[in-house]
Chains A and B, each alone.
Chain A
C-alpha cells in the first residue's frame, strides 16, 4: 500500500512543499509574447546548460550550466560605457512561476501557455519537472523544446506534465551528428522512439544548416528515419539557420564556426518542405 500525504505529519508536508517552492535553477531568459514556440501566445523560459555543442548554436550563452559574466560595452552619448552583465540567474521555482503567470490572460485568450527551452531544459531535470508540474496545476498548456539528448528516465518523469514536445532532429547520421554537435544521435533517436510510443504530441524541428544537412539526400534520410521512429507527429518545422548570433559569440569570447554558406536558399526550403509533405508529414517553414 502506498503512502498518501495524510500519512505524513503536517510539519513534514510543509517542509516538503517549501522545498519544492524554494528549489532553484539557472535560467538565462524569460521571454514573453513568444509566438513561435508552440500554440497561441506563450512565455518561453530558457534554462541554462546543454549537453550538445552545435557549431551553429544561436544561443551560445545557454550552453554552460553555470552563471557567466560577460562585459558589454554600450555606446552612450558618443562614449563607451562598459558594464558587466551576468548571464543566467539562480532563480526559484516560485519566482519563475510568478513571471509565467503574469501573462495568463493572454494564454487563455489564445490557447497559449508556457514553453521551456534552453539550452536543453532537461539539463536541469528536477527543476524542469517542478516547473511543469506547477504549470499544469495552474491549468497552463506546457511545451518542452528539447534536443532529445537526455536520459530516457527524465522524459518519463516529465511526460505526465508536458502537452507538447518540440523535438530537434538535426542529422540522421550518427558520425556527422557527432562532428557537428559533439554527440552522436543514438540517444536522441531512442528517446524519440520511446516518446512517440507514449502517444504524446510531438513537433519535429529541423534546423536547416548550410553545409550540414541542407541536401535532399539528408532530408530524405531524415524522412525515412521519422517514418520508422515516430508514427504520430503533429508536424515538421524547418528552421532556416541564421547568422544573428555572431555578435553573441564575440561577446562571450567563443569562436564562431564559419559555415561554408551562411544563408539557406529559399528554394531549398521549399524543396525540403515538399519532400516531407510527399512523405505524408505536415510541414511548415519556420516555427
Chain B
C-alpha cells in the first residue's frame, strides 16, 4: 500500500458516519415545484434524480483517483424520505444509539423539522405500503412471524452485468430511442406507460452524463489551482476520464473503474435499494481492460493495484442508509452488502480465474476493509491454488472472502428458469443470494421465522407473547396422538402465514411499481430498455421475490426434541413440555439438561436429528416456490438471517430444544450454537441434507481458531473440506477465524479491538458494533479445536 492509499484508507476509516439532509432537501424542493405536479411518475422520478445530481455538492477527496460520492463527504449518508420518513425521535435514536450510530447535527434536525417532515408526512412509500396491508398481515408482522424489506428501503437486489462495461449512457440512449420508435400504439395497451418510462430512462442517462461533467469541470479547476504538477496532471487526466465516461463506454482500466463508480453512485442516489449495488464479477469485467493495457504498456501492475485500492475505498465511504425499528434489528450494520465476486466460470462454462482474480485477492487482504464485501466463486474447474489463496486470506481473520459454490449457483439459477449463459454470468450478491447478474431483479421481501410457527402451533394459533389469536386453530397439542399430527398442524400454520406474506408481497410490489420507479437502475439491467418497463415493475429479464427462512437449526432441534421425548420415547409428556416452556424452564433444569445434552441434534450428521430439517425445508419450499409475484416472476426461498435471528429470537418464548425465552435463534443453516459435537464434517453433512439447488442461497458459518490454519498442509485440508461440501451441493460456507478468548477479551476491552472484524452471518462486521447478545452468540458458536 503506497502513501496515497494509506492516507485515503485512514481518512475513510476515521470519517464519521453521519446523516446528511442534502438529498432529502433537494428532493423536497423538487417535489414542491410545479413541474413535478405535471408529469408522469417515472418522469417525475427521473427529473428528481436530475435535480439532485445537478445540485448536490461535488466532493473530491484529497489524493483520490476515483471520484463520486453519494453524500457531500465520505460517510455523510443521505436519507430517502419518499421511501421512509425519519421522525425527530428516529433521528435522535440514530444519533445516540450505542451501536451503529449516525451523527445527526442540529442543522439536519432543523431541516427535518421545518422542511422534510412537514412535506413528506402522509406521502411516503412506507405509509402507502402499510395502508394496503390487511390486519392479519400487520398482526403477524408485529408478532415477529416475518419482516418486510420494502418498509424502509427500496427493493433490492441486483448486480451489474457486463453491459455496464460495454455500453456508455449515450449507447443506452440510442437503444431507448429504438425502443420508443418501436412502440405500438395500436396493439399495445401499455404503450403510453412504456413511452413515459423510456422517456424517464433517457432523462436519467442525461442526468448522469451531466453529473460526470460537473466532476470534470471541478477537476479542471483543481488542476489549474494545484501547485504540485504531478497532482495537477492527475486532475487533468481524471477530468478527461469524467468527460468520456459514463457518457461513452470505457476504454481503459481507470475509465472502467470510474465508469462503474458513477453508475454505482447513481443507483444509490436514485433510491436506497436493499443491498446497494454491486459490480458483480469484477475480475471478469475488468480483465479485458487490464490485459490490453498491460500488453500495450499503458498500465503497470502497480498502477492497476493502486486504482483497485482507490476503488475499494470508495465502497468503504458509503455506509448503509440508516434503518430504524424492526428493519434496524434485522440488519444492524454499516455494511451495505456490495459483494465483489471473483473466480467462477465464464459464459462458455470454462474456468474464469485470471490474473486479476489473484490481484484482487491481494487487494482484499491488504485493504482489510469492511466494505466492499468480497467472495470467491469456486467451481470444480477452478485451480486448487486459487481456493488455497482465498483460505489464506480468511486465515487473517476478518471474515473475507466468503466461499461460494459456482456449480451449485449455476444449477440453482437454471432450475429457476434462467438460460445457461445468464446463469454462468451470475453469482451471489448481498449475503449469499443467487442472481443472474445484469438481467435479474431479485427482491428480498422479508425474513420468515420458522421457529415462531412452532410456538404458534403449540398454542393452537395463539401468540403467547400477546395472547392474541394470530394463526389458525390447528388443535390443542395435548390431543396430538403422533408426531405427524404435530407436523400436520405446523404445516397448516406455515401455509397460512406464507399466504399472508405472499399476498402482502404482491400488493407491496404493485405499490412500489406505481410509486417508486427507478429509471436510472433500469438503464443498466436488461431487458428494461427493450421491454420499456421499469426495474421495479417487471422490466428485468428475470423477476424473483425471495422469502428468507430463518432458524433452521432451532426449529429442527425443537421438532426433534418433541418427536424424541414426547412421541417416540414417551419420556416426557406434552403437558410437561408445555409447562416447562411456559415457565421458561424455571424449575425444569433436569428436563432442560436432557433437552440440550441428551437429545439428538442437527449438525452431527445424525439422520434422526436431521430429518426435521429436511421436512421443514420441504414444507417451506412447497409453500413458497413457484408462486407468481406481481412482476411476472416467481417467489423463491433462500435460507439466511443477516442479524434477524436475534430479533426473531426476541419474539419467541422458550423452545423445546432447551433454548430459553428471547435468546437468539440459530443462524442461516448452521446448527444451534454449541449443538454440533462431531466436528465440521458432521455439520457439513447435516447441512447438505437439505437441497440447496432448490434455494436461491443458503448460509453456513463455521468458526475455527487460528490454529486450524497453521501451515500450508492445514490450509490445503480446509480447502478440501470446502471442496467436499461443494461436492455435496453446499451453496456457501464461511469461516470465522478467531479464538473465543480473543472475543471475550474484546467484550471486556472494546477499545483494544476497534479493528476486530468477525463474520456475523453472510457478512462481516466490527465486533464492537454488534449488540451484546449477538457478541455472546458469536462466542458460543462452536469452536472446532484440534487435539493432538
Bound Cα distance A112, B605 (Å):
19
Chain B residues with Cβ below 8 Å from A58 are 788
B interface, how many residues as a size bin?
20 to 34
Considering the complex, give the chain A residue whose CB is closest to the CB of B688: A105
A interface, how many residues as a size bin?
20 to 34
Contact status of A76 and B727, CB under 8 A, knowing A35-B717, A242-B788 = no
Q: Is the CB of A287 within 8 A of B788?
A: yes
Chain A 31-44, CB within 8 Å of chain B: the 1/0 string? 11101100011000
Interface of B, helix, strand, loop or mixed by DSSP? helix
Chain A positions 59-93 with a Cβ under 8 Å from a chain B Cβ: 74, 76-77, 79, 81
Bound Cα distance A191, B597 (Å):
44
Q: Is the CB of A106 within 8 A of B788?
A: no
Bound Cα distance A32, B597 (Å):
20
Bound Cα distance A52, B110 (Å):
82
Answer whether residue B622 sits at the interface, using C-beta atoms and an 8 A cutoff: no
Answer whether residue A153 sits at the interface, using C-beta atoms and an 8 A cutoff: no
Chain B 765-788, CB within 8 Å of chain A: the 1/0 string? 000000000000000000010111
Bound Cα distance A106, B678 (Å):
14
Contact status of A103 and B593, CB under 8 A, knowing A35-B786, A110-B717 = no
Q: How far is the CB of A287 from chain B (nearest CB, A)?
A: 7
Q: Is the CB of A105 within 8 A of B787?
A: no
Partner of B681, one of A74, A81, A103: A103
Q: Is the CB of A79 within 8 A of B786?
A: no
Partner of A40, one of B597, B682, B717: B717
Contact status of A109 and B723, CB under 8 A, knowing A33-B679, A41-B717, A81-B589 = yes
Chain A residues with Cβ below 8 Å from B679 are 31-33
Q: Is the CB of B788 within 8 A of A41?
A: no
Answer whether residue A239 sits at the interface, using C-beta atoms and an 8 A cutoff: yes
Q: How far is the CB of B227 from chain A (nearest CB, A)?
A: 56
Considering the complex, give the chain A residue whose CB is closest to the CB of B679: A33
Q: Is the CB of A32 within 8 A of B678?
A: yes
Answer whether residue B714 sits at the interface, using C-beta atoms and an 8 A cutoff: yes
Contact status of A41 and B721, CB under 8 A, knowing A286-B788, A287-B788 = yes
Q: Is the CB of A76 within 8 A of B685?
A: no
Chain B 603-643, CB within 8 Å of chain A: the 1/0 string? 00100000000000000000000000000000000000000
Answer whether residue B343 sits at the interface, using C-beta atoms and an 8 A cutoff: no
Q: Is the CB of A77 within 8 A of B724?
A: no
Contact status of A109 and B593, CB under 8 A, knowing A31-B679, A32-B682, A242-B788 = no
Bound Cα distance A245, B593 (Å):
26
Contact status of A33 and B680, CB under 8 A, knowing A41-B717, A106-B724, A110-B717 = yes
Contact status of A105 and B727, CB under 8 A, knowing A31-B679, A36-B786 = yes
Considering the complex, give the chain B residue whose CB is closest to the CB of A207: B788
Q: Is the CB of A33 within 8 A of B714?
A: no
Answer whether residue A102 sits at the interface, using C-beta atoms and an 8 A cutoff: yes
Considering the complex, give the chain B residue whose CB is closest to the CB of A79: B589
Answer whether residue A244 sits at the interface, using C-beta atoms and an 8 A cutoff: yes
Chain A residues with Cβ below 8 Å from B593 are 74, 76, 81
Highest count of chain A CB atoms <10 Å: which of B592, B679, B716, B788:
B788
Chain B 705-716, CB within 8 Å of chain A: the 1/0 string? 000000000101
Chain A residues with Cβ below 8 Å from B784 are 33
Q: Is the CB of B788 within 8 A of A239?
A: yes
Chain B residues with Cβ below 8 Å from A81 are 589-590, 593
Answer whether residue B178 sits at the interface, using C-beta atoms and an 8 A cutoff: no
Bound Cα distance A240, B788 (Å):
9
Chain A residues with Cβ below 8 Å from B681 are 32-33, 41, 102-103, 106
Q: Is the CB of A105 within 8 A of B728?
A: yes
Answer whether residue B720 sits at the interface, using C-beta atoms and an 8 A cutoff: yes
Chain B residues with Cβ below 8 Å from A76 are 589, 592-593
29 contacts between A and B (CB under 8 A): A31-B679, A32-B681, A33-B680, A33-B681, A33-B682, A33-B784, A35-B786, A36-B786, A36-B788, A40-B717, A41-B720, A41-B721, A41-B724, A58-B788, A74-B597, A76-B589, A76-B593, A81-B589, A81-B593, A102-B681, A105-B724, A106-B681, A109-B720, A109-B721, A109-B724, A112-B720, A239-B788, A240-B788, A242-B788
What is the interface of chain A, defined by CB distance below 8 A to chain B?
31-33, 35-36, 40-41, 58, 74, 76-77, 79, 81, 102-103, 105-106, 109-110, 112, 239-240, 242, 244, 286-287
